[in-house]
Chain A
């Protein structure tokens, strides 16, 4: 055993130095900061409550309108997804794999292209996809995957108000002859759009 001339830190400090965290990926940070920016601080809701009380006291119906508007966010964006599906935007990503691997391929692509990792919901796990694109609807970012069976699933970068958290009982939306199901799951909102006459299991 030799003795160094320079003092060495204890093993605890060496462990701390060796395990010190590096920087998280920039796109992950940007995505989370974007999601954080859309949320309100803990004092905003009490402030809104006071504002609402004032409005009620003043006899205005504005508060009711605001609550209604916020509660309709999910269905409104569900209809926006149907509209986008009808416009059939060009695919920015084409799956090279044809089977269930295409889902994993899409998830990896979305992390780079959309800034968040958009996995398929549990009910579509293993579903083959043709490709996808990134869409911005109102202040939300979503990834659209076109499935091999003709449907499309929109994966939003956060949950949407007014949608259930139970994927077995999704909110059903109909517009422009198309049907969609929308729900929240694992911190994301999903809108599954079916083309007219789609006869598969929805």
Chain B
């Protein structure tokens, strides 16, 4: 498939914008950085060999732009192992009451930046583990355990928001 700049916009703009919006929480800045991301991607399109990796490639450009924007800030995505150490992992197949999912964005906002990022990459962008590993420069096992811990942190944040996550079938 011959990937064109137009097809890149059509296929990935919604997802890339959603990621930027969720990461930055500021609409104007999200628009600005997404625009920069795509303009740079257009210039470098010949470097993209695999159309299936386009989403991860665009997100890596966007993450670079975000890092440049916040380079003076130390708050950008530091994974604090200690903060996650004592959280229990979520049970397999556990669910939350669907009516309570509306409060999920607020709970997600309470998470540390690194945990939010990895959950967005996995569940919003639906990237496979290996692509998340490439993006975050992490080995596969670390990606899996961090997603596991981030979900546990989300569960704890939801509990604080008054939402209880029930094990097994609800």
Contacts and interface: CB of A to CB of B under 8 A. Distances in A.
A3 B169 CA distance: 7
Contacts of A14: 95-96, 98, 101
A10 B95 CA distance: 5
A24 B18 CA distance: 7
A11 B93 contact: yes
Interface stretch (B79-87, B116-124, B128-136): B116-124
Nearest to B4: A41
A1 B169 CA distance: 9
Contacts of B34: 24, 28
A contact patch SS: loop
A42 B15 CA distance: 24
A18 B90 contact: no
Contacts of B109: none
B166 A1 contact: yes
A187 B4 CA distance: 18
Contacts, number: 130
Contacts of B95: 8-11, 14
Interface in B3-57: 3-6, 8-10, 13-19, 22, 28, 31-32, 34-36, 38-40, 42-43, 45-46
Given A19-B124, A187-B40, A11 B14 contact: no
A111 interface: yes
Contacts of B96: 11, 14
B31 A111 contact: yes
B46 A42 contact: yes
Interface stretch (A31-39, A53-61, A80-88, A192-200): A31-39
B94 A10 contact: yes
A24 B165 contact: no
Contact of A187 (B8, B15, B36): B36
B126 interface: yes
Interface of B: 2-6, 8-10, 13-19, 22, 28, 31-32, 34-36, 38-40, 42-43, 45-46, 90, 92-96, 98, 101, 104-105, 108, 119-120, 123-124, 126, 151, 165-170
